[in-house]
Amino acid sequence: MTRYSLALLPGDGIGVEVMDAALAVLDTLERRLGATYFLRRPYPGGAQCYADTGSALPAETMSALKNADVILFGAMGLPHIRYPDGTEIAPQLDIRMELELYAGVRPIRALPGLASPLSDPRAADIDFVLVREQTEGLFYARGRAVVTHDDVLDTMRISRAGTTRVADFALALGSRRQLRGKPGRVTCVDKANVFTSMAFFREVFVERAALVTEVRADCAYVDATALNLVLKPWTFDVLVTENMFGDILSDLAAALIGGMGMAPSGDIGDEHALFQPAHGSAPDIVGTGRANPTAMLLSIVMMLDWLAERDRSSPLADAAALLDGAIASALAQREIVPFEFGGTSGTREITAAVISALQTAG
Ligand code: ATP
């Protein structure tokens, strides 16, 4: 059996709380399967680490991430700890650049049994994936602003290579989803009507899409997409977009299924992958026990699926399905209602319900 080195980055705020939940669930999963798939090791990093040591991501941490088979990340950043220029500590952005984790994969799926913030019953069918380019776009400007007394220029970069690889990723995902009975439609989300950079993003996407005939490809403007994500989110399948648009749309998308605590993510490159809940450190609820660990637990499902697919491992694919089913059945219980949905189930209750569902799953 292959054993994977799993680097753990709990980070700040509720990142630490949902990481504890993740490890308890992973332990149960492995016990249930009678296998130790992951050799786990935690590493320091984050805003508190910066305040304590002067480094948000110590060199040993970065080198461990490069050597690990896979990375599980909580959340990093705290509003009261900032760099001298006023920006927040966000080592996750540095990790994405350094490890070339160009595809930010954010699945948005409604889970049965939880009330939707949308009144239309079709909201129960929401099941799409937002793919956010993560190594350029407007985030390219980070650390490169041209500042004068009266002016600041932040530059957006769109390269052919950067767009090609993320477009190919999204198209391949569309193809795989089609094999699983999904529509296999990939939508390029841009602002090609205004910016030359975005027209280029669209042009490269269309070129790449022409090579993948089984996938239906189309393009939409980001403003109209924001509207349609609220009006008819069940019509989307795979969306691919620029870094900043993806950042904003992924929070909007998480709201469609109940909140940040429901939205997992994977930051995926050709050599490395990191899995993390789409939310941040949520300083407003840290220490209250209200953090919903679902996003983190679904990120473990994504991690298992990613390894299963890469290594063609059916035991890992089975482990992913087992955990996915346990999360769904825990949240389908009437007594489990996360705080985000107006209930009183917090980290402890949801984690315990998932563990119990894992132990009793047939
Ligand atoms: P970042 O920019 O670092 O991603 P953010 O500014 O988007 O962070 P979050 O930390 O994600 O902010 O929090 C946004 C809101 O969602 C907050 O009100 C927070 O309490 C809530 N929230 C985030 N994660 C969870 C969670 N796991 N469970 C419950 N509520 C959450």
Q: Fold for domain 117-256?
A: Isopropylmalate Dehydrogenase (3.40.718)
Q: How far apart are the first and last CA of the chain?
A: 23
Which residue is closest in CA terms to ligand 1's atom 1? 280
Strand, helix or coil for residue 273: strand
Rounded Cα gap, residues 195 and 245, in angstroms: 13
- For ligand 1, the distance from its centroid to the CA atom of residue 281, given in whole angstroms, is 6
Sign of CA dihedral 250, 254, 257, 263: positive
Q: Is residue 274 within 8 Å of residue 304, measured between CB atoms?
A: no
Q: What is the pLDDT of residues 192-231, one digit of tens each?
A: 999 999 999 999 999 999 999 999 999 999 999 999 999 9
Q: Determine what percent of the chain is predicted with pLDDT higher than 90.
A: 97
Residues above pLDDT 70, as percent of the chain: 100
Q: 41 forms bridges with which residues in the sheet?
A: 7
The SS3 of residue 70 is strand
| Residue 339 per-residue DSSP state | G
Residue 170 reports pLDDT greater than 80: yes
Given a cut of 80, is residue 362 above it in pLDDT? no
Residue 247 has pLDDT above 80, yes or no: yes
The ligand 1 atom at the shortest distance from the C-alpha of residue 251 is 7
pLDDT bracket for residue 1 (50, 70, 90): confident
Confidence class for position 40, pLDDT limits 50, 70, 90: very high
Nearest CA to ligand 1 atom 16: 260
Task: Answer yes or no: is pLDDT of 121 > 90.
Answer: yes
- 1-104+271-362 and 117-256: identical CATH topology: yes
What is the residue extent of each domain of the chain? 1-104+271-362, 117-256
CA angle 262, 317, 177 (to 5 degrees): 65
Residue 335 has pLDDT above 80, yes or no: yes
Using the predicted structure, report yes or no on whether residue 128 has a pLDDT greater than 80.
yes
Q: What is the pLDDT of residues 270-279, one digit of tens each?
A: 999 999 999 9
Question: Computed over its alpha carbons, how large is the radius of gyration of the chain?
Answer: 20
Please give the Cα distance from 8 to 80 (Å, whole number). 24
Task: Tell which residue, 133, 13, 24, has the closest CA to residue 74.
Answer: 13
Q: Ligand 1 within 6 A of 281 CB? A: yes
Q: Is the CB of 273 under 6 A from ligand 1?
A: no
- pTM value is 0.96
Domain 1-104+271-362 fold is Isopropylmalate Dehydrogenase (3.40.718)
Q: Ligand 1 pocket: which of 89, 260, 292, 347 to mutate (most atoms <8 Å of CB)?
A: 260
